[in-house]
Chain A
Amino acid sequence: MGDNDVWQGTLALMILRTLESMGPRHGYGIARRVEQISGDQLIVQYGTLYPALLKLVQQGYIASEWGASDHNRRARFYKLTRAGRRQIEKESQRWEKAAAILACFSSPAEESL
């Protein structure tokens, strides 16, 4: 479960990034894209994806509307809002910083020992 916790927190950023690069997408498309990018290391279930999407909608970072999919299925499409674009910047910086700090701990410099 520990793995899952980390990636729950990052899922929001992954969704935002996906929508930024791919344009409007439905839930299934977002899930597949996240799985693909992670080299199928991650498995996106309903139970994690949809609450995350809902939270982003409620926060106003993404908006949703109904449309038709590539194969003409009715689906709800999500797209990035302006607030969402700004949020990507902030979130990315936060994660880069966090990752950099963590990197220091996983390969500590010799002289500090």
Chain B
Amino acid sequence: MRRLRALLVRLWGLPRRNREDREFSEELQSHLQMHVDDNLRCGMSPEQARRVALLKLGGIEATTQAYRDHNTLPFCETLCQDLRYALRQFGHNPGFTTTVILTLALSIGANTAIFSIVNALLLKSLPYPHPERMGAIYTRVTGAQPWDERHHLDGEQWELLRDNVPALMPAISGTRPSGVNLESGSHVQYVQSGRISAHYLDVLGIQPVIGRNFSEAEDVAHGPKLVIVSYGVWKNTLGENPRVLGQSVRLKGELYTVIGVLPDGATTPLNADLYTAIQGSRTGEGSGTNFDCITRLRDGATWQQADAQINQAWSLRANKYELDDNPGGQVMYYSVPLQRGETDPLRPQVLSLMLAAGLILLIACANLAGLTLVRVLRRTPEIATRLALGASRWRIQKQLWTENLVLAVAGGAAGVGAGFVALPGLLRLLPEHFLPVASVSLDRGVLLFALALSIATSVLFGMLPALTTRKLDLRSAIASREAIGRDRIHLRQVLITSEVALTVILLAASGLLVRSLIHLQTLPPGFNPSGVMTARASLDNVRYHDGAVFRKLLDDSTSAMRHIAGVTQAAVGLSLPYERALNTGGLDIDDGPEAGRKVLTAEVYTTPDYFAALQIPILQGRAFTDEDGPETQHVAIVNQTFAREFFHGDAVGHHVDKGTLVVGVVSDVAMAPGLHAIAPLATEETMYVPARQMDARQFALLHVWFQPSWIVRTAHPIEGLTGQMQRALASVDPTLPFSGFYRMEDLLAKTLAMQRIEVALLGTIAGLALILSTVGIFSLVANIVAQRTREIGIRMALGSTIREAIVNVGAPGLRAAAVGLSLGLLVSAAVLRALRSALYGVGVYDTPTLATVVGVLVAVSLIATAIPALRIARIDPARTLREE
């Protein structure tokens, strides 16, 4: 305690050092004087009195020094000196300082921005109370076809989990919110609606500010129509009415009673505007695995107990679908923290980005090490002089490290600034609701990370120069004029070799991703995407559960749209090319070579003009016509893949689904696969059926999952087309707004969003790496030129040509780049295999990509070498010799 106090007093004394010194010398003087006075009084002569006093009291200078050392902290004092000196040094070398700080700003900025996403996704705990007691359930299947992923529940599993697992409080929700129309008064608003079970909000630990959660009695099939609204909807749509409970709102065409309002800022994994009870059962939606599940461990229970109870409960199931295509396998269920469950799909991408950003930092360190090395070597005479004058090596080391640290901290601050600027841009790249977290911010954790990064960087790039001064030979250092010896150039070559190698890896990786994206974007679509405008509307409305009303809506609205001037075709389809389609399982193949088989297919209902509007070629048979109605023979059109897989190519005239006649085969279109997720864009077995022949009982569920699209093809671009489409729809149903308008390019971009983000981010990082390597090569050659001006002048005076001199000087840079390039290619061959799962239509060893990488690096190295080397042409041998 007393020691701490003393330390604080000493720290406090630092800035007031000069005054303290003055006062102390005054005190000593008065002490001496009093002693002399006493001596005089004892009868000594004035001279003797002073001499005796001085002798007795000891050296004044030594005392002053000892006093000062005790009064302040000598360590801090030299630190302040070092800091001041460092700042002066940087002021004298603005070019060096700017290069270093910019390099650090870019590399630390990139790391900070990406780390803030890692932080928000993987490190920061979820914004709920006791997040460690929240879980998600995973399934692990072993056997011939093992898999291990988050479990989706069917109704049977939900009931067993709810009733037979006392260790957990479980809750389910729909897999994603769906767009619905909320009517209040004359106003129709399109909002995102999530469907949740009783206790869903309890699991999250969210308590409504007004009202209550759904009760178990209300969360049953055909239960009451109730809604809990978010704070935003309550404020903006319901007028902040404090007596909102019990009020009715018209949602999906039906009256729902408001029973609760969520707190301001409350988020759920669904992130919806309002919530209705999911009322899950074993039938309907619950006959398939369509529920997402979250759990909370009850007080006193352990996760081991919970897992045991889950496995026990689910072993009682009638429908054990997990082993359908994996006979002899073993199924095991286990809980993982909810955080992991929510972020698992993004983890590999995020971590590989972080890795790429780490590589950038390494490259930056190599560059900075080279730069600081040169700078320290240039200062060799100064350092040698200081050593000769008696400075300790420790003191010199301290000075150098202080400078590095100052640079790193300044660069780190600039990096945090750069990250602060880059992060919003980075987040804008991502589609909305892409990250399962409410916000990504530069919080304390990120700042600490940036600080640690800066310090680690300073150690990394400061180590090399600091080590070289330790071996400094004083005599030769003072005598020598040559600042950098050959071995130092070798050292820098090694640095450049390694950074070029890292750059090659990053460039090759981003090159491959670019090639994949190009491949995906230029896949033959199978239809004509230009000149098409589509609009989506939610038919999740009780009015359209009636088949006749539904058919009338489609007929009248498409006919109204066909009357818009310039529109050549209008149609409706449940889903579009480039999108994910509805998956139908257990479809019977009635006849043909595969008769009796039950298959899985994509299914799309369409109006007759769907194929004409999208210009999907009909290869065999016919398109749908207005004659294909509810009362006539049920028909279907299949795509090529379907025909090939299930009818060996000859599908027309055969039957599927107990009596549906296949009347045509159409060309395959590119779509987001829902059955086998092997690529972001592919073709799957697809069956098209007439919208007019749909069983109306399916609509309730179908239109919760999918919003059908209206498609118009125009002969030429039309001004205000979307407004006219909206009016055409309103002429049939004024309460039905379109939720959005999309061109086919928009849909393609949305489907390939992940690939575009990967390309953009990795491309940026690879570009940064290229810039850093270029700077590295450039500064190496520039330094060699600067040091060897004298030597080159003499050589030229002796008859060497400029060409020879340029080659001689540029060679070290080019050699380093060449070795780095080959090394990088070798390492890439091993490392890039990890990318395989992210590549489509391009192999890991892709010649065009590798050739481009080599070409770019060769060009860049040549330029970076040539620019400084050409300065040699300006060397005047006569002047150099005179300077000698």
Contacts and interface: CB of A to CB of B under 8 A. Distances in A.
A50 B21 CA distance: 13
A55 interface: yes
Contacts of A17: none
Interface stretch (A3-11, A40-48, A96-104, A105-113): A40-48
A29 B807 CA distance: 81
Contacts of A92: none
A16 to B, nearest CB: 14
Q: How large is the interface on A (under 10, 10 to 19, 20 to 34, 35 or more residues)?
A: 20 to 34
Contact of A28 (B31, B60, B62, B66): B31
A58 B31 contact: no
A46 B56 CA distance: 9
Contact of A58 (B5, B27, B37): B5
A27 B31 contact: yes
Interface string A65-81: 00001010111100000
Contacts of B33: 73
A47 B71 contact: no
Contacts of A71: 34, 37
A51 interface: yes
A58 B58 contact: no
Most buried by A among B31, B70, B71: B31
A54 interface: yes
Contacts of B27: 27, 50, 75-76
B859 interface: no
A15 to B, nearest CB: 14
B28 A69 contact: no
B315 interface: no
Nearest to A29: B34
Contacts of A60: 2, 5
B70 A54 contact: yes
Nearest to B20: A54
Nearest to A54: B70
B59 interface: yes
Interface in B58-109: 58-60, 62-63, 66-67, 70-71
Interface in B39-71: 56-60, 62-63, 66-67, 70-71
A47 B63 contact: yes
Contacts of B38: 32
B123 interface: no
A26 B31 contact: yes
B797 interface: no
B132 interface: no
A31 B38 CA distance: 13
B23 interface: yes
B30 interface: yes
A59 interface: yes
Interface in B257-302: none
A59 B31 contact: no
B2 A46 contact: no
A46 B57 contact: yes
Contacts of A51: 66-67, 70
B26 interface: yes
Contact of A45 (B5, B9, B26, B58): B58
A46 B28 contact: yes
Contacts of B35: 28
A69 B26 contact: no
B128 interface: no
B56 A76 contact: no
Nearest to B60: A46
Nearest to B62: A47
A74 B9 CA distance: 25
Nearest to B71: A54
A46 B70 contact: no
A57 B9 CA distance: 9
Contacts of B26: 74
Contact of A47 (B30, B37, B59): B59
A72 B37 CA distance: 12
Given A45-B56, A45-B58, A55 B70 contact: yes
Contacts of A26: 30-31, 34
A45 B53 CA distance: 10
Nearest to B58: A45
Contacts of B9: 57-58
Most buried by B among A27, A46, A50: A46
B10 interface: yes
B6 interface: yes
Contact of A55 (B6, B24, B37): B6
A58 to B, nearest CB: 4
A47 B2 contact: no
Nearest to B34: A28
A71 B253 CA distance: 104
A67 B63 CA distance: 23
Contact of A76 (B6, B23, B58, B66): B23
A74 B66 CA distance: 23
A100 B384 CA distance: 58
Most buried by B among A31, A54, A69: A54
A59 B2 contact: yes
B10 A58 contact: yes
Contact of B63 (A46, A58, A69): A46
B74 to A, nearest CB: 14
A46 B34 contact: no
Contacts of A28: 30-31, 34-35
A46 B23 CA distance: 15
Nearest to B59: A47
A46 to B, nearest CB: 4
A4 to B, nearest CB: 12
B60 to A, nearest CB: 7
A107 B27 CA distance: 44
B5 A69 contact: no
Nearest to B66: A51
Contacts of B34: 26, 28, 69, 71, 73, 75
Contacts of B71: 54
A49 to B, nearest CB: 9
A47 B70 contact: no
23 contacts: A26-B31, A26-B34, A27-B27, A28-B31, A31-B31, A46-B60, A46-B63, A47-B62, A50-B28, A50-B63, A54-B70, A54-B71, A58-B5, A58-B6, A58-B70, A59-B2, A59-B6, A60-B5, A69-B30, A73-B30, A73-B33, A73-B34, A75-B31
Interface of B: 2, 5-6, 9-10, 23-24, 26-28, 30-31, 33-35, 37-38, 56-60, 62-63, 66-67, 70-71
Given A50-B66, A54-B70, 5 more contacts: A46-B58, A51-B67, A51-B70, A58-B70, A74-B30
What 5 A-B pairs come out closest when comparing CB atoms?
A58-B6, A45-B58, A46-B63, A28-B34, A58-B9
